[in-house]
Structure formats: structure tokens, C-alpha cells
Amino acid sequence: MATMKNIPLILMGCGGVGRQLLQHIVSCRSLHAKLGLHLRVLGVCDSKSLVVASDVLSNELNDNFLSEVCRVKVDGSSLLTLGGLGECQVFKNSELKEKVIDVASVMGKSTGLAVVDCSASSGTVGVLTRVVDLGCCIVLANKKPLTSTMEDYYKLVSHPRRIRHESTVGAGLPVISSLNRILLSGDPIHCIIGSLSGTLGYVMSEVEDGKPLSQVVRAAKSLGYTEPDPRDDLSGMDVARKALILARLLGRRINMDSIKIESLYPEEMGPNVMSVEDFLSTGISLLDNDIQERVRKASLNGNVLRYVCMIEGSRCEVGIQELPKNSALGRLRGSDNVLEIFSRCYSEQPLVIQGAGAGNDTTAAGVLADILDIQDLFP
């Protein structure tokens, strides 16, 4: 019988995307077995705790245990409650990062390890850079580590074969891999124009249909499109992070402060002033009329509003634009993203990538495909 290739992994972040990834891993078991692959989940952590198999060289968290992990997190309980279940160890706050690095150190010397970041935290960057140093792989849905300093960015991408981050831009859409293919063929990319926020795409098309902004943003959150704090989307920061990831991929040595960003809410409603709950229950309703009026004015000109990302030369900006209804961006509906890439080969007509750009299912599927894409690095 042919031997099975194992891909050991640790999952950081067990929210909407992380849990969906665990479910995809379990439901794809027989498909992966046919391909001679087994994804061996060694550990899972959230912001406060880590559960890890008691012997990472020979054990794993089995599928029943992973279902329990999902159940506990959906219930809003702590992973610490899983301590008594199965052959696992549980670590708290202060020990969490060091333990992930310990496991990477052990696994880096044997079969290798993929550390998968499905958190929404900037605090994972230190662990990820250490993991790369230890010869392991990283797979990210989290944009924050790649939009940290240039120094951190270069450390993370120092071994291009060992990093995948397709889901950081366009969720499951093949944006990063397509850009890499174009760049590797020596075809210079002149310009990228896109609508890269599932949340803002959904918001704009629903407000066009007459719904109030406040209601639509709450719906986007429950559909799993928004960031944990939807102000990350409404401020343009989430799109700016995607723009920065793309610009850096194109070789631009820029930081966030080089990006012009338009916010849809005033500073008085920012995270330092009001809680996310207050913003969603009362603050955001105060913005309903203003956005409705902007959409109405655009419609009088036969246009629609879209939140656009533009990268051209040294210019990198994200903000609202009024666009013809029948343009590629104007035709977008719901959480779809579209990206137009102009290069030497795609000069008259751009290469266009379009489809669902947010949601736990498609994002987690993108992360899973990334994990499978590095299978050749495992014995």
C-alpha cells in the first residue's frame, strides 16, 4: 500500500474562518486520502489559549476533538474547557506563543509544520517570523502580519515557497497566485484596479436597493463578510491592507502611510471613542441618510458608488468612486470582488478576476487550497 503524506499543522484563530477550515479539513478526509494526503491537526489556538496534541511527533487532535473545538468556540466558551478531553495539553495566554514556537522547532527538525493564521490579530507576526526561521511554512488569511513593517514583511516572505496567503486578498479568488504567475513570467504589471471589499460591495449594492446602511452592515456582519469590528471595513483599512499586500507583491517598498484612504465614518465614531456594540446599535444609524443621499445623487447621473482600490506607479489609494452602472466595477453585486490587472500582455483588455470576495466558506476553502499547495515540502 502506498504511504500517506502527512501535513502537520497548527491553526491560530478559531473564529468564523478558522472553524470553517476545520470543518473543510474533516469533510475532505476521503478526497485527500485518495490523493495520498492526510492533514494532521496538531494544535488549535484562540486569543487566550492553545490546545495541542500531547505528543506532536506521533499524535494529532482527532476529528471528534476538532468538532468539540468548534462547538466550544461557537458557544463562546474557552478552549481551556477541553483540557480533560483526549490526549492533549492546554496552554494559557503567556505560554501560548512559546509553545507554538516549541512545536515548530520540534517539527522543523522532522517532517515540517504549517502554521495557519486565521486570526485577525497583528500580534501573530512574531510567532510567524520565528516559525519561518525554524524552516516551517506559514499560511495566512490574516492580512495584518503582511502589512506590518517592511522588515517583518521581508522576514515573512524570505522563503517564498514556504508562505501562502491567497485568502488575504479576494478571499478564495486566485488573486495572489495569478499576480505571481504574471510577475514570474517577466510581464510588468502597470496598474491594478479593483473592488476588493466583500462588505463594501454588499453595502453599496444593498443601499442602492433602498436599504439603510445600518441594517445592511449588521447583515454583512452576520453573513461573515465583515472584519470582527466592521469599522475596519467601513474605514477603508481592510481594503488598504489588501492594497498594501498587492503593492508590496509588485515590489513597491511602501508602508500604510503611503496609501490614501477614504473612511465612511467620522473620527468621533472610531474604536477609541465607542465600542463596536454602540457603533452598531446607535452610531451607524446616524450615517444612513448621508450615504443614501450620495447613492441617490450618483444614480441621477446614471452611476453607482463603488469602493475602489487603485495601484498605479507610485500611486496607491482606496476610496469611493462614482462609476457608470455598466462598467466592470459598476455591475458588481453583493459580496463579489473584481480585480482588473493591466500589464504588457494585458494592455488593451485587462486580465479580470471576479467572484465571491468574502465569507467564511470561500475564505476557508482558499486557505485549505493554500495548505495543499505546499504539500511537496512535506515528506
Ligand X SMILES: NC(=O)C1=CN([C@@H]2O[C@H](COP(=O)(O)OP(=O)(O)OC[C@H]3O[C@@H](n4cnc5c(N)ncnc54)[C@H](OP(=O)(O)O)[C@@H]3O)[C@@H](O)[C@H]2O)C=CC1
Instruction: Please enumerate, by residue number, every residue annotated as part of a binding site for L-homoserine.
Output: 227
Helix (H) / strand (E) containing 5: strand 5-12
C-alpha cell at 121: 490579530
Least Cβ distance, residue 213 to ligand X (angstroms): 19
| Angstrom distance (rounded) from CA 72 to CA 120 | 19
Least Cβ distance, residue 121 to ligand X (angstroms): 3
Q: Which residue has the cell 482558499?
A: 366
Residue 377 DSSP one-character state = G
φ, ψ for residue 200 (rounded to 5)?
-70, -30
- Which residue in 358, 365, 368, 371 binds ligand X (CB under 6 A)? 358
**Site residues (CB under 6 A) for ligand X, limited to 105-164:** 118-121, 123-124, 141-143
Rg of the chain over Cα atoms, rounded to whole angstroms, equals 21
Size of the site for ligand LTNE7NMQ (CB under 6 A): 11
**DSSP helix/strand/coil, 238:** helix
Q: Do the strands 260-261 and 88-92 form a parallel or antiparallel pair, or are they unpaired?
A: unpaired
> Among 83-91, 154-162, 338-346, 355-363, which window interacts with ligand X (CB under 6 A)?
355-363
User: Is position 147 an interface residue for ligand LTNE7NMQ (rule: CB under 6 A)?
Assistant: no
> Among 119-127, 197-205, 262-270, 294-302, which window interacts with ligand LTNE7NMQ (CB under 6 A)?
197-205
- Which residue in 147, 148, 195, 197 binds ligand LTNE7NMQ (CB under 6 A)? 197
CB atoms < 10 A from the CB of 185, how many? 10
Stated length of the chain: 379
Least Cβ distance, residue 109 to ligand LTNE7NMQ (angstroms): 35
Enumerate the β-bridge partners of residue 91.
Answer: 50
| Site residues, ligand X (CB under 6 A) | 12-18, 45-48, 118-121, 123-124, 141-143, 167, 171, 198, 224-225, 227-228, 358-360, 363
Residues at the site binding ligand LTNE7NMQ, with contacts judged by CB under 6 A: 171, 197-199, 225-227, 233, 238, 357-358
